[in-house]
C-alpha cells in the first residue's frame, strides 16, 4: 500500500523511467474505455481515478462509456486501438473469459490485451423491489419454484448472468433471465415493477437501498461484506452452492503496449488507490481497492479465469 506521503517518491520513480529512455508522457488525452453504462460500478471506479491520474500523468484523462453486448463492444474497441498507451480498457473478470460466453468475438479476451494494473474487487447482490413480499433468498427460491408465472430476474452485466445461473443451480429452479444493456437499466425496471428480482453489483444495490425501492436478499461473496454485514451470502441458504463469486476490476491496454508506458500508468494507478479521497469513493461504491502491478495482475487473471470458467460450466451457461 502506498500512503499519501509516498506520492512524491512514486512520481520521482516515474520521472526516473523517463530518464532511463522511456518516452515522455503524451499530452493528448488518455481514454479509459468503460464497456458498461454510466452509473455502473465499473464506471464509478474509472471516474474516481480519472482526476488523480490526470494529475500524476500530466495529460487529460477521459472516461468513455462504450456499453453493449455485455461489455464486449468496448473491449473490441480497445483491442483494435493503437498500442500507444492512449486507449485503455477498464475490464471486469468475465470479460477475460468471454470465449466461454460467446462463440464469435473479434478479439482474444486475454491475448489481445496487456495487463496494466489491478483496480478493485466487488460482488453481486440478489434483490427484489421494496413492495415485494419476498424477504429472503430462500423465499426467492420458493417463488422461482412456482412457474405460474415464471420468476423474472434482471441482470445488466456478465457477472450478474453467472450469479443468476449459480442461484438457479443451487436452488434447483429455472427463473427467467432478463438481460439489460447495463445495471442502471435493470435497476430502473426492478423499481418500476417490470421484473420481480435482479442481480446487480454490491455498490449499486447499497446505493439504491439507501434511496428506497429495493430489498437486498443475499450476496454472491464467500463471506458477509464489512460494508453490509446485515446481508447474508448465498451459501448461507444453500450450503452446497458452488464457490463464491467475486468480480475483479482491472485496467488493461492493447497487446504490444510498451512496458515503460504500462509501468508509468500502473504507478499512477497505485498512487491514486492510496489516496484517502479515492478510497472513500471506492467505499461508497462498495468496492475494495485491489492494487496489483502488471505481472501480478497477469497471474491473477490466469488464476481467476480457471475459476470463472469452472463456475460457468457448473452453472450450465451455454455460449451465445
Q: Are 90 and 249 in contact (CB under 8 A)?
A: yes
CATH of the domain at 231: 3.40.190.10
The β-bridge partners of 179 are 155
Mean pLDDT of 250-259: 98
Q: Given 173, 205, 237, which residue is the final one in a domain?
A: 237
CATH of the domain at 108: 3.40.190.150
In a domain, 132, yes or no: yes
Q: Quote the pLDDT of residue 6.
A: 42
How many structural domains is the chain composed of? Answer: 2
* Whether residues 112 and 140 fall in one domain: no
In a domain, 118, yes or no: yes
* Whether residues 185 and 260 fall in one domain: no
Whether 26 shows a pLDDT value over 80: the answer reads no
* Whether residues 258 and 114 fall in one domain: yes
287: Cβ contacts below 8 Å, ≥ 6 apart: 41, 44, 45, 120, 121, 122, 202, 203, 249
Whether 222 shows a pLDDT value over 90: the answer reads no
Q: Are 267 and 13 in contact (CB under 8 A)?
A: yes
* Whether residues 73 and 160 fall in one domain: no
Model confidence at 291, pLDDT cuts 50, 70, 90, reads: very high
Q: How far apart are the first and last CA of the chain?
A: 41
DSSP notation for 119-178: EEEEEEEEEEETT-S--SHHHHHHHHH--SSPPEEEE-SHHHHHHHHHHHHHHT--PEEE
Q: Quote the pLDDT of residue 158.
A: 78
In a domain, 192, yes or no: yes
Q: Quote the pLDDT of residue 243.
A: 66
Q: Which structural domain range is residue 48 located in?
A: 4-122+247-315
* Whether residues 72 and 85 fall in one domain: yes
Q: Are 304 and 32 in contact (CB under 8 A)?
A: no
* Whether residues 101 and 34 fall in one domain: yes
In a domain, 320, yes or no: no
Whether 155 shows a pLDDT value over 50: the answer reads yes
Whether 16 shows a pLDDT value over 80: the answer reads no
Mean pLDDT of 12-31: 53
Mean pLDDT of 109-126: 96
Lowest mean pLDDT: which of 148-162, 188-202, 287-301? 148-162
Lowest mean pLDDT: which of 20-24, 25-29, 138-142, 164-168? 20-24
* Whether residues 63 and 101 fall in one domain: yes
Mean pLDDT of 26-36: 90
H or E element at residue 2: none
* Whether residues 138 and 105 fall in one domain: no
pLDDT, mean over the chain: 89
The cell numbers describing 6, all together, are 509516498
Lowest mean pLDDT: which of 4-8, 69-73, 254-258? 4-8
Q: Are 282 and 45 in contact (CB under 8 A)?
A: yes
In a domain, 9, yes or no: yes
Mean pLDDT of 3-22: 40
Q: Given 237, 264, 296, which residue is the final one in a domain?
A: 237
Q: Given 213, 237, 261, which residue is the final one in a domain?
A: 237
Amino acid at each position: 500500500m502506498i500512503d499519501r506521503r509516498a506520492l512524491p517518491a512514486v512520481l520521482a520513480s516515474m520521472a526516473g523511467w523517463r530518464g532511463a529512455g522511456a518516452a515522455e508522457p503524451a499530452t493528448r488525452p488518455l481514454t479509459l474505455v468503460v464497456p458498461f453504462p454510466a452509473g455502473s460500478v465499473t464506471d464509478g471506479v474509472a471516474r474516481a481515478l480519472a482526476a488523480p491520474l490526470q494529475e500524476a500523468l500530466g495529460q487529460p484523462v477521459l472516461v468513455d462509456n462504450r456499453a453493449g453486448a455485455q461489455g464486449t463492444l468496448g473491449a473490441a474497441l480497445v483491442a483494435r486501438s493503437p498500442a500507444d498507451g492512449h486507449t485503455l480498457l477498464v475490464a471486469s473478470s468475465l470479460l477475460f473469459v468471454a470465449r466461454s460466453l460467446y462463440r464469435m468475438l473479434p478479439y482474444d479476451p486475454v491475448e489481445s490485451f496487456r495487463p496494466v494494473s489491478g483496480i478493485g474487487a466487488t460482488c453481486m447482490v440478489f434483490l427484489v423491489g421494496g413492495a415485494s413480499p419476498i424477504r429472503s433468498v430462500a423465499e426467492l427460491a420458493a417463488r422461482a419454484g412456482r412457474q405460474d408465472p415464471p420468476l423474472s430476474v434482471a441482470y445488466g452485466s456478465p457477472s450478474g448472468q453467472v450469479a443468476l445461473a449459480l442461484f438457479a443451480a443451487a436452488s434447483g429452479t429455472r427463473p427467467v433471465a432478463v438481460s439489460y444493456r447495463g445495471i442502471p437499466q435493470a435497476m430502473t425496471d426492478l423499481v418500476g415493477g417490470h421484473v420481480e428480482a435482479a442481480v446487480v453489483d454490491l455498490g449499486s444495490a447499497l446505493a439504491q437501498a439507501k434511496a428506497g425501492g429495493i430489498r437486498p436478499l443475499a450476496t454472491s461473496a464467500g463471506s458477509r461484506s464489512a460494508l453490509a454485514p446485515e446481508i447474508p451470502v448465498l451459501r448461507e441458504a444453500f450450503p452446497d452452492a458452488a464457490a463464491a463469486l467475486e468480480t475483479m476490476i482491472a485496467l488493461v491496454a492493447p497487446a504490444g503496449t510498451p512496458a515503460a508506458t504500462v509501468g508509468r500508468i500502473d504507478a499512477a494507478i497505485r498512487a491514486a488507490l492510496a489516496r484517502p479521497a479515492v478510497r472513500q469513493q471506492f467505499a461508497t461504491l462498495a468496492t475494495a481497492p485491489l492494487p496489483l502491478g502488471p505481472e501480478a495482475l497477469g497471474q491473477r487473471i490466469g488464476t481467476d479465469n480457471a475459476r470463472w470458467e469452472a463456475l460457468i460450466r457448473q452453472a450450465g451457461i451455454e455460449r451465445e
